A and B are shown apart, each in its own frame.
Chain A
Amino acid sequence: MLSSLRDATKRYGANIDRFPEGTKKMLFKFAAMTQIPAFRSDKGELPKERMFTRPEQWKVEIGDRVLITKGRFKGHVTKVLAFHRSTNELFVEQSETKKMVIPKQYWQAGQQSHVINYPKPISPRDVKVVSTMVEIGKDGVEKRTEIAADEVVFKGMYWDADYCKMMPYRRVKYHENIIIPWPRPEPVEDDAFATSKEESEERTYIPNSIVRTDSPPGIVESMRSPIMRRKYKWDKQVISRSDEKRLTPPEMPISAAKEGRNGREAENQRVDSEKADCRNGQLGR
């Protein structure tokens, strides 16, 4: 978006952040009232700065196995299905549900009833990440142990090719030698119209010099509109005759008194010079 437009939206648009807390709550309440009950969220949307953005904040990733520590499914091990980013909560496979009445236009494929069980999201504080620890005993037999980390800490970073970003090492607190790996994300399939990674990374132009440009001469001028009315700022311009006229105020005419005085002075000078000439003549004679 153009920066000017962005500023304009900030200036004139309904920016909720400008309002005080009480007014914000009231506005959210009004907004909820306009929604059908199925789509009303129990908790309001968090402010943007409090929403989680980094894996260290979430502590789990989509696909992680977790142990639920609170609620009806306390003690169950399930899988993280999705993030509810606006409230910093998780959707897990096995969770409490609430009954919801769905209008027919929003029915999913295969839905039979207006009433469905919709999963309730849970807080990441109420889950413990579960992993399988593999130990090789003295007798060379693999020993697999399921562990649930009470708490996790993050130390060190590595490049994760699947996530395409730097990821922190997730370690068990007080047993930092135990690293719980991040789950593998589901591979994303490219669209038919997508540019392939190799193609996008291909370098098509390498400048030979930062001093001399390879671009053809006059390319900058050709980019300017030839019918632009305003003259280009950096083109040198000169004062025209009419400009000079319009910039120069008229001179004050010489008054008769001044003219007379100048005349008298000129006359005196003339007389003096004549006298001097006479004197010189006399001397010469």
Chain B
Amino acid sequence: MFQSYSFLLQSKSAAKPIIADQARFFSITASTNARQYKSVVSRLVKKRKEYKEGDEKPWYLRIPEEKPKYPLYPYGEALFFKRSDRGLYGGQERGSGYQVSEMGNRTPRSWLPNVVTKRLWSEALNKTIKIRLTSRVLRTITKEGGLDNYLTKEKSARIKELGIFGWKLRYDVLKAREKANKPLNYDLKKNPNGEDVKVFYSGTYKGEPIQLTVGRRKLASLLFPVVRNHTTEPLSFAKFGVEHAKASFGDILKECEGYDMDLSNVSFKPEVSQ
């Protein structure tokens, strides 16, 4: 059916394809060539309970020391052929079958995917990455036009074949792209010496205009020792940080003004004072 359709499209006799674009073909039988990713799909991934702040903490719950670096791979880790989680194996596993002799004797045998080690360039990460990958995946990467395109494709089959290693790389690539696409939070200005200076904030301080060369968090860290000196109880930086986590640039600057801080070290002066 599919062949006849392509034939019609290519036929010179028909200037216009007979079948209009509204007509659609459906294949009732499943394609045997399509990859099933059986070993990936059949994994039973334990459902994670989501905990929110203020929820009751069960006594058996272990809190990890550090927060997780990567999102969870929806298909979990490999049950067999664990090495496929340490490279791009495209969902391939150890194959098995028979070695059949001339007499028809069947001897069980197995074969491994054709795995190669390559250094591939990642445009987003701006570095080469040493990867163990199957030649089949290498071919796909070439077709996709690069490692990043292979990793970031949205098709469900691609996510099935990525595995844990690919999933983590995908996260790195997408994060790097997100970071690259983020607009700058500073203006570049030139000081009298001709050097570039980053100006993060322009406003008024003590009734005079000020251009700050430090970010919001850095300004808060400058404010911290002053606040601590004016606090009777011991104040930890962690507590201070939590209190000022959502404070705006203007609020922190106003607080600095309250303590009469000297911000000349972190302010941009377009003219050299004589």
A residues sitting closer than 8 Å to B (CB atoms) are 233-234, 236-241, 243-258, 261
Of A243, A251, A257, A261, the most chain B CB neighbours within 10 A belong to: A243
Given A236-B56, A247-B51, answer yes or no on A255-B171 (Cβ-Cβ < 8 Å): no
Q: How far does the alpha carbon of A246 sit from the alpha carbon of B69 in the complex, in Å? A: 10
Q: How far does the alpha carbon of A74 sit from the alpha carbon of B196 in the complex, in Å? A: 123
Residues on the B chain within 8 Å of A255, using CB: 152-154, 174
Q: How far does the alpha carbon of A238 sit from the alpha carbon of B152 in the complex, in Å? A: 38
Q: How far does the alpha carbon of A142 sit from the alpha carbon of B54 in the complex, in Å? A: 94
Contact yes or no, B57 A238, CB < 8 A: yes
* 8 Å CB interface, B58-90 against A: 59, 63-72
Contact yes or no, B56 A257, CB < 8 A: no
Q: How far does the alpha carbon of A238 sit from the alpha carbon of B55 in the complex, in Å? A: 5
Q: How far does the alpha carbon of A261 sit from the alpha carbon of B155 in the complex, in Å? A: 12
Residues on the B chain within 8 Å of A257, using CB: 152-154
Minimum Cβ distance to chain A for residue B177 (Å): 7
User: Please, what's the 1-or-0 string for B38-55, where 1 marks a CB less than 8 Å from any CB in chain A?
Assistant: 000000000000111111
Contact yes or no, B57 A239, CB < 8 A: yes
Minimum Cβ distance to chain A for residue B170 (Å): 7
Residues on the A chain within 8 Å of B55, using CB: 238-239
Residues on the A chain within 8 Å of B64, using CB: 246-247
Minimum Cβ distance to chain B for residue A31 (Å): 51
Known A237-B56, A239-B54, A249-B71; 7 more pairs at CB < 8 Å? A233-B59, A238-B55, A241-B53, A244-B52, A248-B68, A252-B170, A256-B177
A241, closest chain B residue (CB): B53
Taking the complex as formed, is B178 at the interface, i.e. its CB lies under 8 A from any CB of chain A?
A: yes
Q: How far does the alpha carbon of A33 sit from the alpha carbon of B236 in the complex, in Å? A: 73
Residues on the B chain within 8 Å of A236, using CB: 56
Contact yes or no, B152 A252, CB < 8 A: no
Q: How far does the alpha carbon of A241 sit from the alpha carbon of B177 in the complex, in Å? A: 29
Q: How far does the alpha carbon of A241 sit from the alpha carbon of B53 in the complex, in Å? A: 5
Residues on the A chain within 8 Å of B174, using CB: 252-255
Given A249-B68, A256-B177, answer yes or no on A237-B57 (Cβ-Cβ < 8 Å): yes
Residues on the A chain within 8 Å of B35, using CB: none
Given A238-B56, A253-B175, A256-B177, answer yes or no on A246-B152 (Cβ-Cβ < 8 Å): no
Q: How far does the alpha carbon of A154 sit from the alpha carbon of B255 in the complex, in Å? A: 98
Given A238-B54, A239-B53, A258-B154, answer yes or no on A248-B67 (Cβ-Cβ < 8 Å): yes
Residues on the B chain within 8 Å of A234, using CB: 59
Q: How far does the alpha carbon of A164 sit from the alpha carbon of B174 in the complex, in Å? A: 86
Residues on the A chain within 8 Å of B53, using CB: 238-241, 243-244
* 8 Å CB interface, B127-168 against A: 152-154
Residues on the A chain within 8 Å of B54, using CB: 238-239
B171, closest chain A residue (CB): A252
Q: How far does the alpha carbon of A240 sit from the alpha carbon of B238 in the complex, in Å? A: 15
Contact yes or no, B154 A250, CB < 8 A: no
Minimum Cβ distance to chain B for residue A235 (Å): 9
Contact yes or no, B152 A243, CB < 8 A: no
Contact yes or no, B57 A250, CB < 8 A: no
Q: How far does the alpha carbon of A234 sit from the alpha carbon of B56 in the complex, in Å? A: 12
The 7 closest A-B pairs by CB, nearest first: A249-B68, A253-B174, A237-B57, A239-B55, A255-B152, A246-B67, A252-B71
Contact yes or no, A253 B171, CB < 8 A: yes
Minimum Cβ distance to chain B for residue A247 (Å): 5
Minimum Cβ distance to chain B for residue A144 (Å): 78
Residues on the B chain within 8 Å of A251, using CB: 71
Q: How far does the alpha carbon of A255 sit from the alpha carbon of B54 in the complex, in Å? A: 32
Contact yes or no, B56 A250, CB < 8 A: no
Minimum Cβ distance to chain A for residue B120 (Å): 19
Q: How far does the alpha carbon of A255 sit from the alpha carbon of B63 in the complex, in Å? A: 31
Contact yes or no, A239 B52, CB < 8 A: yes
Minimum Cβ distance to chain A for residue B143 (Å): 16
Q: How far does the alpha carbon of A247 sit from the alpha carbon of B58 in the complex, in Å? A: 13
Q: How far does the alpha carbon of A256 sit from the alpha carbon of B171 in the complex, in Å? A: 13
Residues on the B chain within 8 Å of A241, using CB: 53, 242
Residues on the A chain within 8 Å of B51, using CB: 239, 243-244, 247-248
Residues on the B chain within 8 Å of A252, using CB: 71, 170-171, 174
Contact yes or no, B67 A245, CB < 8 A: yes
